[in-house]
A = this chain, B = another copy of it.
Amino acid sequence: MNSFGRIFRISIYGESHGIQIGAVVDGCPAGIPLSEDDFMDDFARRRAGGRGTTPRVEPDLPKIVSGVYKGKTTGAPASIVFENTDTKSKDYDNLLYHPRPGHADYTGQQKYGGYNDPRGGGHFSGRITLGIVAAGVIAKKILNPVKVDATLVEAGGTTDIQKAVEDALKANDSIGGIVECTCSNIPVGLGEPFFDATESMIAHMIFAVPATKGIEFGSGFKAAIMKGSEHNDLIIDKSGKTKTNNAGGINGGITNGNDIIFRVSVKPTSSIGRPQDTFNFKHQTVEKLLIEGRHDACIALRIPVVIECATAIALADLIMLEQQRGRVY
């Protein structure tokens, strides 16, 4: 479903070329200062415009239409909406029978029996992540003083990201990258032993972000080649601080107070400026398809803020869940 969270619960909706996209944030505590301006920094990070990003640039002006009164959250659901303005709606219907490789054209068409909106990817568009960012901005306010920081540490296999992007642009191709995320000032005790393990909740949200292919916490895939004597993080003081952080800040699903650290693999943008083979279901044969439209050479440039906000949403829910415990007894 398009909602997430047990206490801090968000719902998102919208299509790339639809009238409006938005997010409804339920379970938000009352009294948090919130205005449209608060969203601007994160929207700017997400927005296209630089080299290697799509020329479709939306102003992304959020409108808070409920849940805020006199500049503060009321405790009622906060609804944030965005009008779609730059929607060049040419004919996309051919995508229903001649699907773009790497996109959700085929799966969407099959799942929804051909009733899905194909314009610009419809509901599958990365544009819908604007709702995740909006909810994440609120989540980050709840989390304070916990901080979540995600950065692109590598693209196209190199840390010289600018060069990698230029090369991809020249080749009419696209590249992927690695995003690293660090959550600091984390209290001990978030998360649950099994199904709502901290890693489970974060990974659940991260894979809700389009283009993510993998996630690893702490030592991650390196753990597979380490020995226990190397991997175990030794506790060195009474705050629970550990000498190393192979655990990525989580033991038994529960935060241990050290930074939560994880890395996310982002695939190269599926839309590229070259013709590609794909099955034409009308002609019943494989045919070349050239995707015209506008697209990013490296979607990984724009994804860190979405990863960051997705993480903040998961943590806000965990932190609000945890706050009930100590009180009862």
Contact = CB atoms under 8 A, between A and B. Distances in A.
Contacts of A266: 223-224
Interface string A287-329: 0000000000000100000000000000000001101111111
B27 A1 contact: yes
Contacts of A233: 101-102
Contacts of A281: 238
Given A123-B74, A329-B32, A3 B323 contact: no
A228 B279 contact: no
Interface in A231-253: 231-238, 240, 242, 246-248, 250-253
Contact of A274 (B31, B73, B229): B229
Contacts of A193: 2, 76, 104, 108, 123-124, 128
Contacts of A240: 106, 110, 279
A324 B214 CA distance: 30
A235 B101 contact: yes
A interface, how many residues as a size bin?
35 or more
A112 B30 contact: yes
30 contacts: A7-B321, A11-B77, A12-B77, A22-B79, A30-B111, A30-B115, A31-B115, A74-B115, A102-B251, A103-B251, A104-B253, A107-B188, A108-B193, A111-B254, A173-B227, A178-B224, A194-B208, A199-B212, A203-B215, A213-B217, A213-B218, A213-B221, A215-B215, A220-B265, A223-B265, A228-B271, A234-B276, A235-B278, A237-B279, A320-B324
Given A75-B115, A111-B254, 4 more contacts: A14-B79, A75-B116, A76-B193, A176-B231
